[in-house]
Every structure is written in C-alpha cells, then in structure tokens.
Amino acid sequence: MTETFDIGFLLFPELTQLDMTGPAQVLARMPGAKLHFVWKNLDPIKDDCGLTFLPTTTFADCPQLDMICVPGGYGTSAVMRDDAALSWLRKQAEGAQFITSVCTGSLILAAAGLMTGYKAACHWAWRDLLPQFGVIPVADRVVEDRNRISGGGVTAGIDFAFHIAEKLHGRDVAEMLQLVLEYDPAPLSGGTPETARKPILDMTRAAMTARGFDLRRDEIAAIASAR
C-alpha cells in the first residue's frame, strides 16, 4: 500500500487559480497523494477571475502536511500581512518535507521568513522584490534549493508539479502523468520579458499597471521595509 503524501495548498481571496489548479491536476495523480485546500475558515473563496472555491479544511484542523504549496495572485500582498496565515505556514513548515510555491507565492513564504537565504522563482514582474526579504531571485521556471521548490509565473506551476512528481516517483511516473494530461505545449514565442517583443512588453506592463500592478508592488515593498 502506498503511503499517504499530504499536500496542502493555501487558498486565499484573489489568488490566481491556475497557480493552484495547474499543479493540483498533476500532483493529485501521484501515488498516495492527498490534497488539502486550506484557509482560516470554510467560507467560499473568490479568485481574481471571479471563480469560487471551497476550502476543504482550516488552519486549525489541517493535518501535518508533507508538502506546503503557496500560490500567488492579486491577493498576495494581503496574505503577506495576515498573521494567521503566516503563523500557520511557519508551524506547518516545521514538519513539512517540502516547502513550495508558485508565482508570487514565494513572496508570501518570504514574508513568513521561510525563504531567507534561499534561491526562488517568482512571476517576472515581482521577482525583483525578493531580495528585500533576503531571498535570491532566479529567472527559471522551476527553482530547487534544498527543500524549497518554487515555480515561476502562473503556467510554470505545471512544470513545477512535474518536477515534484519526478523527484518523488521517478521519470517514468512523471512522463505517464504528462501523457495522461496530454501536456505537450507548443507556445507562441515571447512568454518572458527576455523573449517578448518590445511593443508587447510595453503593452503588458501598461495593462498590469492599469489593474493595480504598481500599487501592489508598493504594498509588498512596504511590507519588506516594515520588517
């Protein structure tokens, strides 16, 4: 019988659902995996697109996890100030085998003091804020530093999950999951600031600013300064 491997996703208002659901689709299919979607209560949570999710357990009732995974999203800065969420992460980290994140979730772990001195990935637009928390930013889709494993922005969470699957169960299992999910991307070019055409990069920055990008960067910088 396969031993249960408990994976907990921090579920919070205004998260980017693909940061969570992308990895969840992969990780849920690993042998023995049991997923938990955790928040301070069981009330419905609305993501940054208006989709609604239900937590499966609370901070108080969640079992000790083998793996913590923190997604990102527009609600990141609020969670970085949430003492209950940060305290739960610190407590779980004491017994977790892996402490992980996707996108700006690495900033939440950093705010909890769990990434100091570690290398980490983050969404490209927020990556430069990591050093303010003592974190070493790396511009890769998946970054592993000891038991900290982080994925870059949004879709990188899928690559991150296959990395976890291969690490825990070997390449054959990871490739089987890849085939089951028909994960064989053929993307357009320009998915990073380094590869995007300059006009597209400028348009993207302008659109993100219109959605409060600058405000949220300032909020996160203020949190770092307060620390």
Pinpoint the alpha helices (H) of the chain. 17-27, 76-79, 83-93, 105-111, 156-169, 171-180, 198-210, 213-226
d(CA 148, CA 139): 16
Enumerate the β-bridge partners of residue 10: 38
d(CA 200, CA 204): 6
d(CA 80, CA 227): 11
Residue linked to tokens 């927020």: 126
Helices 156-169 and 171-180 meet at what angle, rounded to 10?
Answer: 140
Enumerate the β-bridge partners of residue 145: 148
Q: Which member of 49, 62, 69, 103 is catalytic? A: 103
d(CA 161, CA 150): 10
d(CA 45, CA 98): 25
d(CA 127, CA 63): 31
103 catalytic per annotation: yes
Tokens of 190: 């320009």
The residues annotated as belonging to the active site are 103
